[in-house]
Amino acid sequence: MDLRQLRYFIALNEHRSFVRAADAMGITQPAFSRSIQGLEQEFGCVLVDRGNKDLRPTPEGQVVLQHALSLVQGAAMLSAEVTQMTKLDAGELRFGCGPAPAVKLVPNAVAQFINAHPKVRTCFQVDNWEKLSRALTREEIEFFIADIRHFEADPNFQTQALTPRRGVFFCRPGHPLLAKESLSTNDMFDYPLATTLIPPGIRKLLANLSGRIDFSPTIETEHFPALVKIVLQSNAIGIGTQEAFIEDIAQGSLVLLHWRNLPQNVESMNARCGIVSRTGFRLSPAARAMIETLVAVDNQEIAVAV
């Protein structure tokens, strides 16, 4: 018995005709019939009810058919997985990223990656770090790029730091807060806050500076373009990484806000961007190549900024 015979038996079940099945498999009808007979001889029983016009499988044939489908599918999956692990001219890559790296870093890296490996199907999911970690645990993605501070001490995850991203506060031109000479973080809570999912450490820092235990933003979304439009059309105050809004700020369509009680260079307000993968799991060649590309692009962007 070999996979070829099992494929022929599956084809016979699909086409219900020796002639049509042989034609579909690209061999002569006598050769096809001999292969099915050889399979029956090996099992020592009749697998096809030839007295039935539809050539249905016998009860023994039904058992063989079920296992044949599983074995042929498993062989195809095995071949695809080995191909993906040994070369980058096939296969699929799935990874995730937070909204900040999705603005510039990831698109630039993916563009370079597909130029080098155009036959690898590349899918990336944009979401917050909580949902990405669950997707990683469920093996839906191989790695993700987001704030890594929540994962650095967790033995289930492996982290690789990238360049931190500066966190900023912004509003529309003409916002009431811009008329004040000096602002504190207490003023921030007089207006709706529009943010992505804020890491607990940053949220606690902002709350404590304002005499609060904690807070929840009024608007929370992982879609930066939507965040900008909300801020532009309301008195909401936006919180995010500077690189995501740098063009809007340069054009004057958004204005940065500075709080007198918040140190301008406080490190804990920065997004600790990095790559997160599972400890003990071997990454595919495509995943390793993408990570190398992400690191290279990150270094290039920082060199340009400097």
- SS3 sequence of 69-89: HHHHHHHHHHHHHHHHHHCCC
Query: Which two tokens mark 78?
Result: 């095995």
The DSSP call for residue 234 is S
Q: Give the per-residue pLDDT at 303.
A: 54
> What is the rounded CA–CA span in Å between residue 292 and residue 284?
12
Residues, the chain = 306
Nearest to 50 by CA among 36, 29, 69: 36
Q: Give the per-residue pLDDT at 244.
A: 81
Q: Give the per-residue pLDDT at 81.
A: 66
* Helix H or strand E segment including 238: strand 237-241
> What is the rounded CA–CA span in Å between residue 240 and residue 227?
9
> What is the rounded CA–CA span in Å between residue 230 and residue 185?
21
Say if strands 167-171 and 193-195 run parallel, antiparallel, or are unpaired. unpaired
> What is the rounded CA–CA span in Å between residue 151 and residue 161?
11
Q: Give the per-residue pLDDT at 115.
A: 94
Q: Give the per-residue pLDDT at 306.
A: 41
Q: Give the per-residue pLDDT at 262.
A: 76
How confident is the chain (306 residues) per 10-residue block, as mean pLDDT?
84 88 88 88 88 85 87 78 64 91 93 92 92 93 92 93 88 95 89 88 81 88 90 94 84 91 65 91 90 93 54
Distance from chain centroid for Cα 253: 31
pTM, two decimals, is 0.64
